[in-house]
Amino acid sequence: MSHEQTMKPSGRPDPAERAVSLSGMHYLVVDDETRLTDLVVRYLTESGHTAEGRYDGPSGLAAARDPRLDGIVLDVMLPGTDGVEVCRTLRGEGIDVPVILLTARGAISERVAGLDAGADDYMVKPFAMEELLARLRAISRRRPECSGRLQIGDLVLDPEQQRAWRSDTELDLSRREFAVLRVLMENAGRVVSRLQLLDEVWDGETDLRSNAIDVHVSKVRSKVDRAFGRTTITTLRGRGYRLETAR
C-alpha cells in the first residue's frame, strides 16, 4: 500500500481533526522520499501548523537545531547521516525537541536503536496522516514547557537562547533591546509603564528623566515593526507602551 493511500482522498484534515489539533505548531519533516515529505508538510500546513521538509541527514540535522521547532518527523534511513544518529546528536547537544521516527515494517532493531538514541515515538511506514498528527499532538502535550519561548503572531522570542524572529527572519537586537522586547511580549495586550521597564530592564541604573527608555523602545520598534511594515508596538502618551496582539 502506498503512502498516498493512507491519506483521506482530498489529502486534507477534516474539520473535527482541525478543531482538536494544537494550533500554531512548527514542525520539521526529514525523509529522502521527497514525495512523502512534501505530502506530510502539506498535510501539517493544511492542519493549521507550519512545516518544512528536508531530504537528507546533514540538512535535517542543521534544520533541527532551530529552537522554534515543536516537533520533528524523522526517517531512520537517510543519506549522509541516518535518523538514529541525527537524533543522538540532537540529544547530545541538549536539544530535547520531540522526535517521531519513521521505520520500515518489521525493523524492530531500528526502533529500539532510535528509542535508545532519545526518540519519543516511532511510526511504521506506510502510515495514516491522521495518526501522525495525533502522535505529534500527544508528544507535544507530554513535553513540559521548559523553554519559556514567547510567540505573538509571527513574532517569536526565545529567552534561553537570547534570540528573536519575525516572519522567520532573525532580529539583530542588543542585550537591552532584547530585554525590552521580552517585557513587552510577556505583557502583550497590556500597558507597560516606563517605570516597569526601568525596574525590569535597567534595574535602577537610570531614571525616568533619562530618554534611554524611549530611545531603546524606538530602536526595538524600528527593528520589529518598521522593517516589516507593521504596527505592533504602540505608545500611549503618559501611560507607557503596549505590544498589540490582534494586528
* Res. 95: pLDDT tops 90: no
Taken in order of first residue, the domains within the chain and their CATH numbers are 4-142 (3.40.50.2300), 150-243 (1.10.10.10)
* Res. 29: pLDDT tops 60: yes
Distance, CA of 163 to chain centre: 12
pLDDT digits (tens, 9 = 90+) for 64-77: 988 778 899 999 99
Q: What percent of the chain has pLDDT over 70?
A: 83
73 contacts 97 by C-beta, under 8 angstroms? no
Dihedral sign, CA of 87, 116, 141, 12? positive
pLDDT digits (tens, 9 = 90+) for 163-219: 898 887 889 999 999 999 999 998 988 999 988 998 889 876 666 667 888 999 999
Task: Confirm whether pTM is higher than 0.85.
Answer: no
pLDDT at 69: 87
Name the strand (E) or helix (H) holding 27.
strand 26-30
Place of cell 518598521: 226
pLDDT at 184: 94
Parallel, antiparallel, or unpaired: how do β-strands 240-243 and 191-192 relate? antiparallel
Residue of 78, 86, 85, 79 lying closest to 103 (CA atoms): 78
Q: How confident is the model at residue 16 (pLDDT cuts 50, 70, 90)?
A: very low
Q: How confident is the model at residue 14 (pLDDT cuts 50, 70, 90)?
A: very low
Quote the mean pLDDT of the chain: 84
Instruction: Give the CA dihedral 138, 143, 147, 151, nearest 10 degrees.
Output: 20
Q: 11-20, 21-30, 109-118, 196-205 — which is least confidently predicted?
A: 11-20
In this prediction, residues 126-131 reach a mean pLDDT of 94
Phi then psi for residue 21, to 5 deg, are -75, 150
76 contacts 110 by C-beta, under 8 angstroms? yes
CB neighbour class for 61 (10 Å; exposed up to 12, middle 13-18, buried from 19): buried
pLDDT at 178: 95
* Res. 51: pLDDT tops 80: yes
Phi then psi for residue 225, to 5 deg, are -110, -60
